[in-house]
Amino acid sequence: MPHAVQSLIIFPYGPYFIAGGMFYLTWRTRARRLRVGCADNLSSAHLRRGVQNRTNFMSAVTPDTAWDVIGFLILAFAMFSAIALRAFAEMKSRFWLSLGGFTYPLYLVHNEVGKAVFRIAEPAANEWLRLAAALSRN
């Protein structure tokens, strides 16, 4: 695929942006057609793409790690589907609104900041300790 086309469709992560937009529109408009589109069409494409691209975000790729990626993506899609379909009570407290406002700026910088922190911590901490540290911040 030409580089210009890859840039235009945000390859290989564009489908995740599309899914996010679909989840938002499903939540916002409660449209049944969008719900079906999210559940039926995007999930399998994301599972396939996630398994194919796991070398981009996993240090040790084995046949078993495909199942890790599949499990994570299924849980993520299930969570976002539940939110989009309003399966949870609305969270209107100041805490949830603040947390929601913080997520997009964090998303914009998480990859580069995370890589820099991991490079600095790598000599002193193994991958399990770094994972525990990353999860404890959330």
Residue 81 DSSP code: H
- Digit-coded pLDDT (tens) for 118-137: 778 777 777 777 777 767 65
State pLDDT tens for residues 12-30: 777 778 788 888 888 888 7
Is residue 26 a contact partner of residue 85, using CB atoms and an 8 Å limit? yes
Distance spanning both ends of the chain, measured CA to CA: 37
- Determine contact, residues 96/28, Cβ cutoff 8 Å: no
Contact status, residue 77 vs residue 43, Cβ threshold 8 Å:
yes
Residue 138: what pLDDT?
45
